[in-house]
Amino acid sequence: MNIKGWYEYKGKKDEMTWESFAISGSKISGGGSDSVGKFTISGSVDGKGRLLFDKVYMAARTIQVLITQLRYLLLN
């Protein structure tokens, strides 16, 4: 599965590719990559259909992990 899309952060759009994405009940999980690097996500879907999750970037040569909480809106 490779789904291309984009996200917006602080008014700037960036391309991303989802390599995996799953919704089970109100829980979501998945992973992919964007211009920052490879990431995984885990979170939930709220009552309005919005996704709220932690996005964790995996750095190749460091043990530090950058966690950014982002809110994505599913659009048709």
Domain residues of the chain, as ranges? 3-73
Integer Cα distance of 32 and 50 in angstroms: 19
pLDDT higher than threshold 60 for residue 72: no
pTM of the model: 0.69
pLDDT higher than threshold 80 for residue 74: no
pLDDT at 75: 44
Q: Three-state SS for 61?
A: coil
pLDDT higher than threshold 90 for residue 24: yes
pLDDT at 60: 53
More confident residue, 71 or 20: 20
Question: CA dihedral in degrees (31, 16, 6, 39; nearest 10)?
Answer: 40
